[in-house]
């Protein structure tokens, strides 16, 4: 496990990378901090990052939906760093209804991202805080068969997919058309899981806090599989960020492995690993 040591100079360097005008590389830069955040900050290609803040037993909230203090203070700072490094942050309307978040950057310095709410069936609350706080723009994504409502923010209409929802790829394309190519899918489980199921997540950060909730929803729920050989196996680096531990899961390498090795070969590799 790598320990992350953050300095303000290094953080400012990462913010400058994000803006495309890199400041001088700090002399005593912590390699772990760079390894965790540089892939988000650099703008060499589109990036879809997902972030889950969960307990030791894999819960993101209590059964009543209380999710306020799952992450410790360093886990929250980590989430805000991720927000500060992306163009847009995506949440499902379930999170807006449950938490009424502002999705801004407050725990660290940096610019807040554009806020995107996936609201397929038009149930975004008119009184949602983000619609009235004067912060970054809010884009609400709805199916094109939903009657126009009274929300005064930009509504992007997308065709309803055969599964009844909005296709994650169509969501990313609509954002890319608006110049938003580096995105953070922040939750909840329903929203993240649709992107993971569609194989559109490049990196997943699972931030684990040392608490046990014992019941309540998990951060990711995928289509059921019968065999562990069908489980997703990204490359993982583990970082001690202080109050929380971050598992940085790289799905890009998984995609490369799948292309290079047919399923049968992969099973042989797994058996060899176990031996």
Ligand X SMILES: NC(=O)c1ccc[n+]([C@@H]2O[C@H](COP(=O)([O-])OP(=O)(O)OC[C@H]3O[C@@H](n4cnc5c(N)ncnc54)[C@H](OP(=O)(O)O)[C@@H]3O)[C@@H](O)[C@H]2O)c1
d(CA 208, CA 210): 7
Per-residue tokens: 241 = 């960020």
| Closest separation in Å from C-beta 92 to ligand X | 2
In this complex, which beta carbon is closest to ligand X, that of residue 60 or of residue 245? 60
Indicate the residue whose CB is closest to ligand X: 188
| Phi–psi pair at 158, nearest 5 degrees | -125, 150
In this complex, which beta carbon is closest to ligand X, that of residue 129 or of residue 266? 129
In this complex, which beta carbon is closest to ligand X, that of residue 35 or of residue 146? 146
Which H helix or E strand runs over 144? Answer: none
* Cross-sheet strand order for the sheet of 182-187: 2-3, 235-240, 245-250, 203-208, 47-54, 182-187, 88-92, 114-118, 138-143, 154-158
Preceding omega of 129 cis (within 30 degrees of 0): no
Maximum alpha-carbon separation in the chain = 61
In this complex, which beta carbon is closest to ligand X, that of residue 10 or of residue 220? 220
| Closest separation in Å from C-beta 228 to ligand X | 24
d(CA 126, CA 246): 35
Sequence-distant (6+) residues with CB within 8 A of 264 are none
d(CA 193, CA 201): 10
The residues of the shown chain that bind ligand X, judged by CB under 6 A, are: 52-53, 60-61, 65, 67, 70, 91-95, 98-99, 118, 120-121, 123, 165-166, 168, 186-191, 194, 219
In this complex, which beta carbon is closest to ligand X, that of residue 32 or of residue 191? 191
| Closest separation in Å from C-beta 191 to ligand X | 3
In this complex, which beta carbon is closest to ligand X, that of residue 198 or of residue 270? 198
| Closest separation in Å from C-beta 31 to ligand X | 27
| Closest separation in Å from C-beta 50 to ligand X | 9
| Closest separation in Å from C-beta 263 to ligand X | 27
């Amino acid at each position: 496990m790598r320990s992350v040591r953050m300095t303000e100079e290094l953080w400012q360097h990462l913010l400058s990378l994000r803006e495309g005008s890199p400041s001088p590389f700090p002399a005593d830069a912590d390699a772990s901090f760079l390894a965790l955040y540089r892939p988000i900050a650099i703008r060499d290609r589109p990036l879809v990052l997902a972030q889950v803040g969960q307990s030791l037993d894999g819960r993101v909230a209590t059964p009543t939906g209380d999710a306020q203090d799952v992450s410790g203070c360093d886990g929250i700072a980590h989430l805000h760093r991720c927000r500060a490094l992306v163009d847009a942050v995506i949440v499902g309307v379930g999170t807006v209804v449950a938490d009424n978040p502002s999705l801004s950057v407050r725990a660290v310095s940096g610019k807040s991202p554009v806020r995107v709410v996936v609201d397929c069936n038009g149930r975004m609350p008119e009184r949602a805080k983000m619609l009235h706080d004067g912060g970054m723009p809010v884009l609400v994504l709805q199916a094109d068969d939903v009657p126009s409502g009274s929300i005064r923010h930009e509504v992007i209409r997308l065709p309803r997919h055969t599964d009844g929802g909005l296709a994650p790829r169509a969501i990313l394309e609509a954002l890319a058309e608006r110049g938003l190519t580096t995105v953070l899918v922040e939750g909840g489980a329903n929203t993240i899981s649709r992107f993971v199921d569609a194989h559109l997540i490049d990196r997943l950060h699972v931030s684990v806090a040392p608490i046990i909730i014992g019941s309540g929803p998990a951060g990711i729920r995928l289509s059921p599989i019968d065999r562990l050989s069908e489980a997703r196996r990204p490359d993982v680096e583990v970082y001690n960020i202080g109050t929380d531990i971050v598992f940085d899961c790289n799905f890009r390498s998984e995609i490369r492995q799948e292309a290079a090795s047919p399923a049968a070969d992969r099973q042989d590799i797994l058996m060899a690993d176990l031996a």
